């Protein structure tokens, strides 16, 4: 959600900023509703005030044994007026909420213009693109040739976009997760958390997946208000929903490994081969809750933490700053890490690190108490994949493949593989 004050006082600036995303909305409708809201809310509160005063005087009169009938007559007409005004306000507020909950975050000024991913801007590169003395295969061929990757069985069990892994490949996947968590906890100062994989709609509203992106989620059947998490960002960030944090706790850094579930509605036909785009994948997620003045420094730091994983795995990557047209709904600024995939001959997203500023915090009422003012103020929230395990596995398979069809185990993962140096 955006700052109400800004929407009221400088709606044009909001319109201009959101237009950079290619997002347009009926701002005059919003202004009109807001004008009505103002009048109605004042009216409702005045009526309530009148009722409260009169009711109180009835109580006092009754206590002194006076005749209260004249007083009762005096409030008789109030109820109807108040009910009508309250009902009108409620409807109006619902319409305003609907509009406001679907407004994306304002972009940070450093976000470059651009309509789509082609306009994303490369900030830096790391590592050398490996040269192969043979034609490198993609991860599907590498994995299936070893008999360790099995898409057919995944689709038999569940359907398209599910995969089965066996033996040392399954273990390598687990090793990646353990390795990433250990680095973030032991070297980057994150607290490991274990969280629910099913969350309620309030949590999804808080981080911005609802109400607008319901189609991207898997919803649990039955009478529950539960959804499978699309990312650990949802449960981990919502830990601080409706909390006022002691500033001594900040910055709060938390890391979690969870599976993620995405319906991938709207991406029919894209990345249908292999493990790039699955309904279920594992990820180690980094979340930071910081004072507003530190959030951009924290974004650089958090991005660096994700990069560190790729560096230790010796996987070449580049850092992209997402352009205005490609950035996500809740983010003010986002860096994507794209890892080099020799089998595809291109870079592919493996991590996305975002500063949401107060956008999520406002929806969640996640605050800290500023000792300078003594007042609760909104936190800034950040999240980033550190990194996606499924895609990291793909990257290892493709970058570490050998001519004989085997795959070397990255050195940093060998301790997690009982010392194994090679998959086969």
Partner RNA sequence: GGAGAGUUGGCUGAGUGGUCGAAAGCGCUCCCCUGCUAAGGGAGUAUGCGUUAAAAGCGUAUCGAGGGUUCGAAUCCCUCACUCUCCGCCA
Q: Which residues bind RNA (CB under 7 A)?
A: 4-5, 9, 38, 41-42, 45-46, 48-49, 51-56, 58-60, 62-63, 72, 75, 78-79, 223, 244, 365, 367, 369, 375-376
- Tell me how far, at minimum, the Cβ of 387 lies from RNA, in Å: 29
In this complex, which beta carbon is closest to RNA, that of residue 97 or of residue 116? 97
In this complex, which beta carbon is closest to RNA, that of residue 108 or of residue 367? 367
Tokens of 72: 């009762």
Q: Using alpha carbons, select from 2, 343, 418 the residue that is nearest to residue 172.
A: 418
Tokens of 86: 């309250």
21 classed as catalytic: no
> Is 364:242 a contact under the CB 8 Å cutoff?
yes
Residues 6+ apart with CB under 8 A from 186: none
Number of Cβ atoms within 10 Å of the Cβ of 89: 18
How many Cα atoms occupy the beta-carbon half-sphere of 115 within 13 Å? 0
- Tell me how far, at minimum, the Cβ of 141 lies from RNA, in Å: 37
In this complex, which beta carbon is closest to RNA, that of residue 234 or of residue 299? 234
346 classed as catalytic: no
What is the sign of the dihedral through the CA atoms of 373, 374, 377 and 383? positive
Residues 295, 352, 354, 385: which is the catalytic one?
352
- Tell me how far, at minimum, the Cβ of 54 lies from RNA, in Å: 6
In this complex, which beta carbon is closest to RNA, that of residue 73 or of residue 128? 73
Show contacts of 3-7: CB within 8 Å, 24+ apart: 3/358, 3/362, 7/34, 7/100
Residues 285, 338, 349, 398: which is the catalytic one?
349
Q: What distance in Å separates the CA atoms of residue 69 and residue 88, rounded to the nearest whole number?
A: 30
H helix runs in 64-200, sequence order? 69-75, 78-101, 139-145, 151-157, 167-186
Residues 37, 277, 318, 369: which is the catalytic one?
277
Residues 21, 253, 254, 262: which is the catalytic one?
262
Q: For residue 237, with 0-12 CB atoms within 10 Å meaning exposed, 13-18 middle and 19 or more buried, which class applies?
A: buried
- Tell me how far, at minimum, the Cβ of 41 lies from RNA, in Å: 5
277 classed as catalytic: yes
142 phi-psi bin (left φ>0, alpha ψ -120 to 50, beta other): alpha
In this complex, which beta carbon is closest to RNA, that of residue 43 or of residue 280? 43
51 classed as catalytic: no
Q: What distance in Å separates the CA atoms of residue 218 and residue 226, rounded to the nearest whole number?
A: 9
- Tell me how far, at minimum, the Cβ of 295 lies from RNA, in Å: 19
262 classed as catalytic: yes
In this complex, which beta carbon is closest to RNA, that of residue 124 or of residue 224? 224
- Tell me how far, at minimum, the Cβ of 73 lies from RNA, in Å: 9
Which residues does the annotation mark as catalytic?
262, 277, 349, 352, 391
């Amino acid at each position: 959600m955006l700052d109400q004050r800004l929407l009221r006082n400088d709606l044009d600036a909001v319109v201009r900023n959101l237009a950079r995303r290619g997002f347009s909305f009926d701002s005059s409708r919003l202004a009109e509703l807001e004008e009505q809201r103002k009048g109605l809310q004042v009216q409702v509160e005045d009526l309530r005030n009148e009722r409260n005063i009169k009711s109180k005087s009835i109580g006092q009169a009754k206590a002194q044994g006076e005749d209260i009938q004249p007083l009762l007559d005096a409030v008789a007409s109030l109820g109807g007026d108040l009910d009508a005004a309250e009902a009108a306000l409620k409807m109006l507020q619902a319409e305003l909420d609907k509009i406001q909950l679907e407004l994306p975050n304002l972009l940070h000024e450093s976000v470059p213009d651009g309509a789509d991913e082609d306009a994303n801007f490369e900030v830096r590169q790391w590592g050398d693109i490996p040269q192969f003395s043979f034609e490198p295969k993609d991860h599907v061929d590498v994995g299936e040739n070893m008999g360790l990757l099995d898409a057919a069985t995944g689709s038999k069990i569940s359907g398209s976009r599910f995969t089965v892994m066996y033996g040392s490949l399954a273990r390598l996947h687990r090793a990646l997760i353990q390795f990433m968590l250990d680095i973030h906890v032991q070297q980057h100062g994150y607290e490991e958390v274990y969280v629910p994989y099913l969350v309620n709609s309030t949590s999804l509203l808080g981080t911005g997946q609802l109400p607008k992106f319901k189609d991207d989620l898997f919803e649990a059947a039955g009478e529950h208000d539960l959804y499978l998490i699309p990312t650990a960002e949802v449960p981990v960030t919502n830990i601080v929903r409706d909390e006022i944090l002691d500033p001594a706790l900040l910055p709060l850094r938390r890391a979690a490994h969870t599976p993620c579930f995405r319906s991938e509605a709207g991406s029919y036909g894209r990345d249908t081969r292999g493990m790039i785009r699955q309904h279920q994948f594992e990820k180690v997620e980094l979340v930071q809750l910081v004072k507003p003045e530190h959030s951009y420094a924290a974004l650089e730091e958090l991005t660096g933490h994700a990069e560190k994983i790729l560096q230790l795995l010796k996987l070449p990557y580049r850092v992209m700053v997402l352009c205005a047209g490609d950035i996500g709904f809740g983010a003010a600024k986002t860096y994507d890490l794209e890892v080099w995939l020799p089998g595809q001959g291109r870079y592919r997203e493996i991590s996305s690190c975002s500063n949401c500023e107060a956008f999520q915090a406002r929806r969640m009422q996640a605050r800290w108490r500023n000792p300078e003012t003594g007042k609760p103020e909104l936190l800034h929230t950040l999240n980033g994949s550190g990194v996606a395990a499924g895609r990291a596995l793909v990257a290892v398979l493709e970058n570490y493949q050998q001519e004989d069809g085997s795959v070397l185990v990255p050195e940093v993962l060998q301790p997690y593989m009982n010392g194994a140096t090679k998959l086969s």
